[in-house]
């Protein structure tokens, strides 16, 4: 066979040395990712004696202790802050997805009212984002200070997310929209029956990004919420990490020794990480489908 018909290098069978190097690189990457997380979980479950013997952090505990988690939930505002974070994340994600998908669908349809002007306005906001002071003044003028809506509305619409969803909807074959229109469907019916079901993959991906943003948000509550009883989990965790204490009502009994600060800090980190870890497996298949669907043209 002539050299012009030779198989490309990336289609050839990999050599044993190449396979070994790839496996070693994969192990190193997994180690870099797993080692810190394992340390966090192990330290949160370790006893005071183990933490003191290991200098503050434990890689693998000899015995499991849930004193740090008991200290976090008993007599502190962590339980209330978790409920607040879950509600803010759920409502904020739903509201943001609704605004994003509707805006993206309208901007993807040629001939829509002010389609070009609104699209230019959305793209301009990618270059000139508002600063902290204008956003704070807007929240103050709309009387949202001290309200949970101050954590949801200012960040509900992202130009980047609109551009991503719009590009995905534009890749849907136009024949589907034309067929629905011939059958007598209006724009709302086309949106709910054609565009929305075929956009589940990109909605799942963008929804995950939005949910992570709301869940990890601590700067917004720091600016807009002065009442500590309204603080979400991330702000409570930040307060504890910086001040080495949480707001308590009846913490550990005087006769009991309080768990080490490192153990309680790691317990808070684990509690804040679990919801995202639980949501990702359900959305991972949609991420793969979204990338494949975006690469297929009708």
Q: What is the pLDDT of residues 269-294, one digit of tens each?
A: 888 888 878 777 766 666 655 555 44
What is residue 259's DSSP assignment? P
> Which regions in the chain score pLDDT beneath 50?
1-2, 247-255, 293-298
Can you give the pLDDT at residue 74? 74
Assigned token pair, 14: 């990999």
pLDDT of residue 202: 86
Q: What is the span of the domain harbouring residue 34?
A: 14-65
64, 218 Cβ separation under 8 angstroms: no
Going from the C-alpha of 219 to that of each of 126, 235, 284, the distances in angstroms are 21, 8, 28
Residues 206 and 251 in one domain: yes
Q: Give the pLDDT of residue 255.
A: 44
pTM of this structure:
0.76
Is 218 in the same domain as 92? yes
**In 46-85, which positions are buried (b, 16+ CB within 10 angstroms) versus exposed (e)?**
bbbebbeebeeebeebeeebebbbebbeebbbbebbbebb
Q: Are residues 216 and 77 in the same domain?
A: yes
Distance CA(162)–CA(212), nearest Å, equals 17
Taking the C-alpha atoms of residue 80 and residue 85, their distance in angstroms, rounded to an integer, is 9
Same domain for 206 and 287, yes or no, is yes
Dihedral through CA 66, CA 72, CA 78, CA 79, nearest 10? 50
- Do residues 260 and 52 lie in contact, with contact meaning Cβ atoms separated by under 8 Å? yes
Rounded Cα–Cα distance for residues 246 and 76 (Å)? 7
Burial of 196 (0-12, 13-18, 19+ CB in 10 A): middle
Domain match, 95 and 61 both: no
Question: In sequence order, what are the beta bridge partners of 76?
Answer: 248
Return the bridge partners of 248, or none.
76
Alpha-carbon distances, residue 199 vs 177, 181, 196 (angstroms): 14, 19, 5
Residue 275: inside a domain: yes
In the numeric block, the tokens 């059958």 are attached to 183
Residue 5 maps to a domain: no
Indicate if 45 and 172 belong to the same structural domain: no
Does 159 reside within a domain? yes
CATH classification at residue 75: 1.10.3720.10
58 and 186 both lie in a single domain: no
* Last residue of one domain, picked from the residues 27, 46, 65: 65
Among 28, 43, 65, the domain-final residue is 65
Residues 79 and 209 in one domain: yes
**Residue 247 in contact with residue 231, Cβ under 8 Å?**
no
Distance CA 128, CA 94 (A): 26
How many structural domains are present in the chain?
2
pLDDT, one tens digit per residue, over 205-261 is 888 889 888 998 888 888 888 888 888 888 888 877 776 555 444 444 444 556 677
């Amino acid at each position: 066979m002539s050299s012009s018909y030779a198989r490309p290098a990336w289609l050839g069978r990999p050599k044993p040395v190449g396979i070994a190097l790839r496996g070693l690189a994969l192990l190193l990457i997994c180690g870099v990712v797993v080692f810190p997380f394992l340390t966090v979980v192990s330290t949160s479950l370790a006893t005071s004696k183990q933490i003191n013997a290991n200098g503050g952090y434990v890689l693998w505990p000899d015995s499991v202790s849930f004193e740090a988690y008991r200290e976090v939930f008993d007599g502190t505002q962590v339980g209330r802050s978790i409920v607040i974070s879950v509600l803010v994340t759920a409502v904020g994600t739903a509201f943001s997805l609704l605004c994003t998908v509707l805006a993206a669908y309208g901007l993807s349809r040629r001939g829509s009212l002010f389609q070009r002007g609104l699209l230019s306005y959305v793209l301009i906001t990618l270059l000139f984002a508002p600063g902290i002071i204008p956003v704070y003044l807007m929240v103050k003028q709309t009387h949202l200070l001290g309200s949970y809506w101050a954590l949801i509305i200012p960040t509900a619409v992202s130009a980047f997310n609109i551009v991503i969803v719009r590009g995905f909807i534009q890749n849907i074959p136009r024949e589907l929209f034309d067929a629905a229109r011939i059958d007598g469907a209006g724009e709302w019916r086309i949106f709910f029956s054609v565009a929305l079901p075929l956009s589940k993959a990109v909605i799942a991906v963008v929804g995950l990004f939005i949910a992570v943003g709301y869940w990890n948000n601590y700067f917004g509550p720091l600016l807009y919420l002065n009442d500590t009883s309204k603080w979400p989990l991330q702000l409570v965790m930040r307060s504890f990490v910086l001040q080495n204490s949480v707001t308590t009502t009846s913490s550990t009994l005087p006769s009991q020794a309080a768990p080490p600060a490192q153990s309680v800090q790691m317990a808070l980190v684990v509690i804040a990480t679990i919801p995202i870890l639980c949501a990702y497996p359900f959305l991972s298949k949609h991420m793969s489908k979204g990338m494949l669907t975006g690469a297929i043209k009708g």
